[in-house]
Amino acid sequence: MKVIYFARVREQLGVDEETLTCPAGVSTLAELVDWLAAERGAPWDKVLQAPDLICAVNQEVVDRQVAVSDQDEVAFFPPVTGG
């Protein structure tokens, strides 16, 4: 799975993208977020559990209950504003 972190999320976590293999038991985006937070600690938990964090799978904004697999591209980014 390719995971991409954009803008403020990238800055806070110190990584722009990575390739992961989901462990057994990780089949939804919510489970992926929980696993990453548990593996990497409090800073990751704070950023990835933020209520306004936007998540996309295969370039489509989704909720956290969507299924994910090792073939997917997952992206995390802060809310965007325009004007």
Number of domains comprising the chain: 1
Query: What confidence score (pLDDT) does residue 75 get?
Result: 98
3-state secondary structure (DSSP) of residue 12: helix
Q: How far is the C-alpha of 67 from the C-alpha of 71, rounded, in Å?
A: 11
Cβ atoms of 4 and 76 closer than 8 Å: yes
* Residue burial 26-36, b: 16+ Cβ < 10 Å; e: rest: beebbbbbbbb
Q: What is the pTM of this model?
A: 0.92
Quick: pLDDT tens for 5-57.
Answer: 999 999 999 999 999 998 999 999 999 999 999 999 999 999 999 999 999 99
Q: Give the pLDDT of residue 1.
A: 97
* Residue 83 falls inside a structural domain: no
Domain with 17 in it: what CATH number?
Answer: 3.10.20.30
Quick check: is 82 in a domain?
no
